[in-house]
Amino acid sequence: MSHGVCPVYIWKCTVCGHKEYSKHPPVSCVKCAGEANRFIMVPPPDKALDQPAAIYPIGMPTLNSILYLVGSTQGGQVNAMCCSSVTPVTYHPMRVAVAVNKNNLTYDFIKVSGVFSLCLLGLGHKQMAHHFGRNSGRNINKFEKYSQKPGKTGSPIIDGCLGYFECEVDHRATMDLDTHTLFVARVVDAFVESNEPPLTYRDYAQDLSKY
Ligand SMILES: Cc1cc2nc3c(=O)[nH]c(=O)nc-3n(C[C@H](O)[C@H](O)[C@H](O)COP(=O)(O)O)c2cc1C
């Protein structure tokens, strides 16, 4: 791609099949009102992304990872979203990397506050993953159904989770990934409530039809 050209991708709504052409996935589908997370990127015919279309339906659940709720706060408001793109990256200091879509309210909150919490989900938290992962805080108050209390950084710690980490963004190490920002953050507080097995993306995806 030549320098200065804005890349445009094809985004397909997995609910109704509608396609949009833009740099980032649309905030919602103009045809069925499906949210941004319902869009998948369709590789262009020239295979510029060098990824076959067949990987998309397999994608994330097969790669598998532990699910967290990313709690965020800004100006007295609190929010949380479900997140699979969470991984520890360094141990001294202890830092994590979390990829957040730029369309999410969580992204706006973390960008301004520079802090967030990671609340660990267990096998009994599939409905919770769905609630926080399929609704945006732009449209509803997700804490009408679930309770939370502020942690050390002011980020919400959601009641009933297996444990939590509180994090402060390391702006020097944080990276732009076009549709997402990969926030790298120092862990400043942590607490483990239970050693039950964590909920994975694969556990969640297996039961999708029940939600
Ligand atoms: C199982 C699951 C995993 C998800 N993983 C991510 C993720 O890694 N990064 C991300 O930005 N969004 C992820 N999402 C989507 C967000 O949770 C979703 O877009 C949410 O509505 C954003 O909420 P907000 O606008 O209140 O921040 C995931 C959703 C689900 C159900």
Look at residue 25 in the predicted model and tell me its pLDDT. Answer: 81
Report strand pairing: 39-42 vs 68-74. unpaired
How far apart CA 126 and CA 134 sit, in angstroms, is 12
Query: In terms of domains, do 103 and 151 share one?
Result: yes
Maximum Cα–Cα distance across the chain: 52
Owning domain of residue 184:
60-210
Query: In terms of domains, do 130 and 68 share one?
Result: yes
Query: In terms of domains, do 167 and 82 share one?
Result: yes
Query: In terms of domains, do 18 and 33 share one?
Result: yes
Query: In terms of domains, do 64 and 47 share one?
Result: no
Q: What's the gap in Å between 104 CA and the centre of ligand 1? A: 8
Q: CA dist 97 to 32, 40, 82, 165, 180, Å? A: 33, 22, 15, 12, 12
Closest-lying ligand 1 atom to the alpha carbon of residue 85: 8
Look at residue 53 in the predicted model and tell me its pLDDT. Answer: 60
Q: What's the gap in Å between 2 CA and the centre of ligand 1? A: 32
Q: Which residues contact 122 (CB under 8 A, 6 or more apart)?
A: 161, 162, 194, 196, 197, 198, 199
Residue 168 domain-assigned? Answer: yes
**Is the CB of 83 within 6 Å of ligand 1?**
yes
How many domains, in total, are found in the chain? 2
Query: In terms of domains, do 26 and 87 share one?
Result: no
Pocket test for ligand 1, best of 11, 62, 84, 155 (most atoms within 8 A of CB): 84
Domain with residue 125: its CATH number is 2.30.110.10
**Is the CB of 153 within 6 Å of ligand 1?**
no
**Is the CB of 72 within 6 Å of ligand 1?**
no
Look at residue 168 in the predicted model and tell me its pLDDT. Answer: 98
Query: In terms of domains, do 49 and 99 share one?
Result: no
Beta bridge partners of 167: 116, 187
Query: In terms of domains, do 68 and 170 share one?
Result: yes
**Is the CB of 71 within 6 Å of ligand 1?**
no
Q: What's the gap in Å between 37 CA and the centre of ligand 1? A: 7
Residue 2 domain-assigned? Answer: no
Query: In terms of domains, do 40 and 137 share one?
Result: no
Look at residue 206 in the predicted model and tell me its pLDDT. Answer: 85
Cβ pair 47, 56 in contact under 8 A: no
| DSSP annotation string for 160-180 | T-SEEEEEEE-TTT-EEETTE
Domain with residue 37: its CATH number is 2.20.28.10
Query: In terms of domains, do 72 and 160 share one?
Result: yes
Query: In terms of domains, do 15 and 111 share one?
Result: no
Residue 161 domain-assigned? Answer: yes
**Is the CB of 199 within 6 Å of ligand 1?**
no
Residue 4 domain-assigned? Answer: no
Look at residue 1 in the predicted model and tell me its pLDDT. Answer: 38
Pocket test for ligand 1, best of 37, 68, 105 (most atoms within 8 A of CB): 37
Tens digit of each residue's pLDDT (9 = 90 or more) over 115-126: 999 999 999 999
Q: What's the gap in Å between 102 CA and the centre of ligand 1? A: 11
Residue 113 domain-assigned? Answer: yes
Region for 117 from its dihedrals, namely left if φ exceeds 0, alpha if ψ lies in -120 to 50, beta otherwise: beta
Query: In terms of domains, do 182 and 107 share one?
Result: yes
- Low-confidence residues of the chain: pLDDT under 70: 1-8, 43-59
Q: What's the gap in Å between 106 CA and the centre of ligand 1? A: 9
Residue nearest to atom 5 of ligand 1 (CA): 83
ipTM of the predicted assembly exceeds 0.90: yes
Question: Starting from the edge strand earliest in sequence, which strands make up the sheet with 19-22, in order?
Answer: 19-22, 9-13, 39-42
How far apart CA 100 and CA 119 sit, in angstroms, is 15
